[in-house]
């Protein structure tokens, strides 16, 4: 088989340069004669690693000094529960903006811990789009406002930051974290599972404004309590050290590539190249409005479920892995996160052209 390109939605492709470095020092990290997986998480070498990882991340994302960076576990689903326990404060309810599957799932979990109001902001159909982003007239009554700027299943992305007045804005950026520059100061909390743009599964990044820490409910489990985790350097329990290490390598690689300005240019070019082909095709179609098309997850269908299944089978055999769409929507989905090179997108398009020529009736 020729080169394989992995379009998995997550766990997703990791930069090959990062994997090669990890491979090279797998059994002899920093000349110690042991793997990074075998050293104490409280030893000087690993403590130095986590300090440098945070420093690199702060530089990449331009994180203000009044924000804390936590490297936790439990994935985004864990944060679905942690958020209301930490943030609900004196205002006993939160507002969730429903743009698709994951924002709805977050709201469902939060209801176990707080009163939740939910507003649907997506109009589904042949031109799926976001319908509303200004909530400044109602947001102040809520402890926080939560949204998901990129819905991986439907391939819908919200590029503008919702207007919420003085309310605390919370974002689940699991699938578009570090994909472009953002103004961190517009958010109270940003959280993301690592397995799409940060590294392997196991680490959950939480960026939280300092003044929001310390108000957790007394029944909040210590592992979800932001204040306890902050004071313990995110290590109230033994952390997933190898995943943390790989994230640190990803941060350094992003810096070496030129930071998020260059990452964003790469991502925009990849997405435009693929969407332009889909729009010109007579076989494939994407049903998301152009202004809300995701740069990370490109969804498309042929309109024939049997033909979609054939596409997935033949593309896999051709070395284009994990193009099957989510079971909720079907069709195909090409996840083109930071690590996916333009060559992968070009290889996919060449296959799509061949498949179209052979199957267009």
Q: How far apart are CA 132 and CA 151, in angstroms?
A: 16
Q: Is 327 a catalytic residue?
A: no
Is 224 assigned to a binding site? no
Task: For Cα atoms 150, 270, 4, give the angle at the middle one, nearest 5 degrees.
Answer: 100
Catalytic residue among 172, 244, 270, 324: 172
Is 42 assigned to a binding site? yes
Catalytic residue among 29, 56, 196, 224: 196
Q: Return the H-helix or E-strand segment holding 78.
A: helix 75-87
Is 195 assigned to a binding site? yes
Is 357 assigned to a binding site? no
Is 76 assigned to a binding site? yes
Coil/strand/helix, residue 149: coil
Q: Return the H-helix or E-strand segment holding 270.
A: helix 260-280
Q: Is 117 a catalytic residue?
A: no
Q: Is 172 a catalytic residue?
A: yes
Residue 92 contacts residue 115 (beta carbons within 8 Å): yes
Is 238 assigned to a binding site? yes
**In this structure, what DSSP letter does residue 179 have?**
S
Is 299 assigned to a binding site? no
Is 279 assigned to a binding site? no
Determine if residue 322 is left, alpha or beta; phi over 0 gives left, psi from -120 to 50 gives alpha, anything else beta: left
Catalytic residue among 102, 224, 244, 324: 102
Residue 267 contacts residue 180 (beta carbons within 8 Å): yes
Is 128 assigned to a binding site? no
Q: How far apart are CA 145 and CA 157, in angstroms?
A: 17
Summarize the annotated binding site for pyridoxal 5'-phosphate as residue ranges. 76-77, 102, 152, 172, 195, 237-238
Residues acting as catalytic residues: 102, 172, 196
Summarize the annotated binding site as residue ranges. 42, 76-77, 102, 152, 172, 195, 237-238
Summarize the annotated binding site for L-glutamate as residue ranges. 42
């Amino acid at each position: 088989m020729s080169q394989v390109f992995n379009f998995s939605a997550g766990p997703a492709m990791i930069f090959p340069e990062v994997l090669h470095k990890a491979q090279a020092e797998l059994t002899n990290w920093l000349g110690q004669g042991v793997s990074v997986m075998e050293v104490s998480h409280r030893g000087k070498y690993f403590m130095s690693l986590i300090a440098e990882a945070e420093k690199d991340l702060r530089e990449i994302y331009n994180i203000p000094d009044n924000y804390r960076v936590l490297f936790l576990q439990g994935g985004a689903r864990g944060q679905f529960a942690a958020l209301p326990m930490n943030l609900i404060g004196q205002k006993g309810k939160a507002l969730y903006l429903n743009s698709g599957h994951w924002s709805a799932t977050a709201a469902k979990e939060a209801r176990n811990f707080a009163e939740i109001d939910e507003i649907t902001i997506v109009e589904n159909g042949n031109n799926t789009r976001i319908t509303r982003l200004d909530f400044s007239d109602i947001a102040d009554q809520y402890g926080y406002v939560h949204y998901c700027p990129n819905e991986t299943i439907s391939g819908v992305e919200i590029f503008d930051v919702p207007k919420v007045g003085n309310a605390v804005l919370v974002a689940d950026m699991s699938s578009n974290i570090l994909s472009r520059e953002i103004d961190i100061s517009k958010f109270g909390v940003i959280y993301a599972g690592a397995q799409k743009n940060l590294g392997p599964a196991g680490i959950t990044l939480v960026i939280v404004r300092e003044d929001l820490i310390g108000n957790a409910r007394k029944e909040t489990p210590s592992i979800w309590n932001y204040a306890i985790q902050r004071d313990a350097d995110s290590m109230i329990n033994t952390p997933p050290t190898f995943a943390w290490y790989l994230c640190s390598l990803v941060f350094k690689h992003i810096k070496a590539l030129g930071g998020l300005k260059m990452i964003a240019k790469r991502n925009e070019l990849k997405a435009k190249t693929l969407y332009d082909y889909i729009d010109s095709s007579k076989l494939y179609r994407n049903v998301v409005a152009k202004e809300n098309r995701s740069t990370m997850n490109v969804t498309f269908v042929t309109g024939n479920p049997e033909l979609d299944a054939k596409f997935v089978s033949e593309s896999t055999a051709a070395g284009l892995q994990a193009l099957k769409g989510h079971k909720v929507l079907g069709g195909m989905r090409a996840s083109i996160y930071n690590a996916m090179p333009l060559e992968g997108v070009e290889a996919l398009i060449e296959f799509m052209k061949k498949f179209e020529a052979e199957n267009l009736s």
